[in-house]
Structure 1
Amino acid sequence: VGTPPQNTTADFDTGSSDLVVPIDICQDDAGAACGGPVLTRADSSTFKISNSPFQIQYADQSGATGAIAEDTVTVAGLTVENQRFGAVNVEFGGFSRPGNNAGLLGLGFPANAASKQTPFFQNLAEQGKLASNLFSFFMTRNDLSGSELCLGCMDSTKFTGDMSFFPLDPTATNGTQLFWNIASDGVTVNNSTPTGSLAAIIDSGTSLIFVPTDVAKAVYSQIPGAQPSTDPQLQGFYTAPCDAIAAANVSFVFGGKSFNVDPADFNLGSVQNDPTTCVAGVGDSGANDGLSILGDEFMKNWYSVFDLGGERVGFAQAVQASA
């Protein structure tokens, strides 16, 4: 970010739409300096800050405040000049907890931008700077390195078989495209009848999977011994005998085709003090709004393509589909 460029890090999040960059005066809600490489304003000749306030809060209750600014932004050699973003001077709720990236780059749609500014990827597309107006994700399993975001491209070395595409469906958000959501026929367990229609948000910024309350109940009624966790820290999640979780083939159905959650990802591990009982990886969202969120737990098994030009999302089997 800036002129000359200053390196920083960002979480690439399909579930939000704003570019969020901590600046050199940034502090967290405890008064400590924000983590990660921050943007030093005085060292960029193209940095401009406005009087317009910026505030964003995410589903995990973390967030940031500051002001709308603009500067030159480059990712993987692709540059947008005068890109507007949230220049952050306060982070809260663990936004900058250790191990996180310094900022966040939203890859969602303009209507979902808290800043009301055009997202970075949308600007790349509108300015004709991409080979194709799409991006794709490959996510590794149990490895901090090797994951890949391909801007304007698909990496055919990271998936096998044909890519299956499904059209975006904004009906669940009142006809406005906020997220990368597609229509799903529902969830199956061991090839059961699908639970029923869902809007599935494909969200790289969410670690796990969340479904409406009625869907969660239907899923876990098919897994022997499953019950809602009584641990306050696992609110919304179910536990079950570890062998029952290992035997459950949980899939989401799109266009009549099943896409499973890898068993290695569906099992979140054993509960404290009981190695025979495990936590299952599909959480209850706490609502019956027909919206499900398919995060990294799903995307690790499926190379995922987000096609802005074609208004669709595609999946193909990721090359490292097993643990």
Structure 2
Amino acid sequence: MILYLLFQLISAYVKIDLHKPMPHHYNRHLRNDLLINNFKNTQYTGIIKIGEQDLELLFDTGSSIFWVFSNTCASQSKKASFDCQSSPNCLMTKEQYNVQYGQGEIRGNKAFDQLQISNLTVSNFQFLIVNSQSNLDNLRADGILGLGLQEQFGFNSLINMLYDQHLINKRMFTFYLNSIPEQINNSSALFLGGYDTRYMSSEVQYVKLDKTDSWSVKLNTIQMNNKVLINDVSALIDTGTSLIVVPTHQFTQLLSILRDEYKQFCQYSQYQIKCSCPDGDFSHFPDFEFSLEGELKLVLSPHDYIYMDVSVCVLSFTKSSNNYWILGDTFIRKHVTVFDIDNKQIGFAKLATFEKQSKQIQINDYLYIFKVVCVCICVAIASIWIIRQVSCLGEASHEMNK
């Protein structure tokens, strides 16, 4: 009985401590974060569970639909697929929908099931089970988790369902994308319902969205060093896009500036800019400065947007027929990026060093262990006192009976 009471007291303390309000970050031992896999800095994926089936999904703020490949869908890239018949709570409807991407298309049936992401379980979650696809064979995932703002087909978004079922306190999520693939000790992460200050070395600076149906912000200027490339343009902040996507006419201007101002004769090949760098040095390439509202300036150095391929400098820029920019993972990796649905804004914070993250994690662990040990000691002392009091009462009662 005493052991049972001891367990209950410790459990009660831990529960209260873990739910103590923390306005800016999560407690390490009950935080809603999901570690993310980084495939060659091109695709960021994480493990979720539908029913009892584990699936690896790509996180995409540029689209809104949550979908998974069915076990009947042919795809060269998928590693796993979802079988509705093997899930006791899965209900697949006859409603069919098509979703088109910049490259690729899917078709599937609307379905409902239980979803688990991180330590959160969502009931009656709605998603698409895809039975046909085209041009998505390069997708190294079992589906896409859309985190965009535009509601499609009457689907309720993951963040809304987490909020409606009281699993998170804010309709907010945050990405920290690591630039070093497969580094386990410094994994990328998605935070649900808030953000974690251990990954930040500055306050979050917010920018209002310039559209109501997408994670799009207004860029006042984009400069290459001090030369203005463009004024007043919209930019979509998109985790589902690897590169920085530039409208065609501005892309041509960018190549001209590289040639005329920096004497770099570059070619556009296989969706990227490739320049000759025989000495492997790309420090002479320009910085890109993105100026947003509130005098917020975000800078990409050559190290952020260039990687070496033998003696070729590959710039992570591509072009499209859109009239807006897309700032993909190349841009997002430079900052901790906060997506705030309720306030219709995106926040940016400087990255903390890996050493700072590790140190703060260790400190939090030590504090947690110290608290638990203190509680155990206090409960043990209280238990001994109670046992002695009960023993004394028993002896007194025995003497009185004599």
Name the CA distance, whole Å, in 2 between partners of 1:286 and 1:241: 27
**CA displacement, residues 19-65 of structure 1 (integer Å, 9 cap, x when unaligned):** 1112222223xxx6x62222222221211111111222321x23322
- Higher helix content, 1 or 2: 2
Match 1:58 to one of 101, 106, 111: 101
Give the secondary-structure state (helix, strand or coil) at the position aligned to 1:222.
helix
Question: TM-score, length-normalised on structure 2?
Answer: 0.68
Q: Distance in 1 between matches of 2:219 and 2:163?
A: 27
Structure-1 residue corresponding to 2:67: 20
Match of 1:105 among 137, 141, 145: 145
Task: Give, as a single letter, the amino acid of the residue that structure 1 aligns with 2:320.
Answer: S
1:92 partner amino acid? S
Q: Is it true that 1:72 corresponds to 2:107 in the alignment?
A: no
Tell me which residue corresponds to 1:200: 235
Distance 1:312 1:10, change over 3 A: same
Matched, 1:118 2:159: no
Whether the aligned pair in 2 keeps the contact of 1:185 and 1:196 (CA below 8 Å) is yes
SS for the counterpart of 2:53 is: coil
- Cα shift at 1:244: 5.7
1:286 aligns with 2:321: yes
Gaps of 5+ in 2: 1-48, 355-402
> Residue 123 of structure 1: SS of its match in structure 2?
helix
- Cα offsets for 1:61-119 (capped at 9, x unmatched): 2332221111111211222222211101223313465xx121110001133x3x44122
* Bigger-Rg structure (1/2): 2
Q: Is the 8 A contact 1:246 1:267 kept in 2?
A: no
- The equivalent of 1:316 in structure 2 is 349
* Equivalent residues of 1:301, 1:320 under 8 A apart: no
In 1: Cα distance, 2:336 partner to 2:226 partner: 22
1:260 Cα deviation from its structure 2 partner = 1.3
Distance 1:246 1:85, change over 3 A: farther
SS of the residue corresponding to residue 231 of structure 2 reads: coil
Q: CA deviation at 1:308?
A: 0.8
Amino acid at match of 2:346: V
Alpha-carbon distance change, 217 to 227 in structure 1, aligned in 2, over 3 angstroms: farther
Percent of residue pairs identical:
25
Higher strand fraction (1 or 2): 1
1:239-254 paired onto structure 2 within 5 Å: 239-242=274-277, 243=281, 246-254=284-292
Deviation of 1:259 after TM superposition, in Å, equals 0.6
TM-score normalised by structure 1 residue count = 0.83
Deviation at residue 137 of structure 1 after TM alignment:
0.4
Aligned length: 296
Structure 1: 5+ residue stretches without partners: 171-176
Q: CA deviation at 1:154?
A: 0.6
Residue in 2 that maps onto 1:131:
169
C-alpha RMSD over aligned residues: 2.3
Query: 1:303 aligned to 2:344?
Result: no
One-letter amino acid matched to 1:46: N
1:230 deviates by 5.2
- CA separation in 2, counterparts of 1:238 and 1:286? 17
Check conservation: 2:286, 2:301, Cα contact below 8 A. Answer: no
Cα 1:258–1:84 shift into 2, 3 Å: same
Letter in 2 for 1:215: Q
Amino acid at match of 2:83: T
Distance 1:65 1:221, change over 3 A: same
Alignment of 1:220-299 (within 5 A): 220-223=255-258, 224-226=262-264, 229=267, 231=269, 233-234=270-271, 237-242=272-277, 243=281, 246-255=284-293, 256-270=295-309, 275=311, 277-287=312-322, 289=323, 291-299=324-332
What is the aligned counterpart of 1:86 among 123, 128, 135?
Answer: 128
Tell me the distance in 2 between the aligned counterparts of 1:193 and 1:240: 22
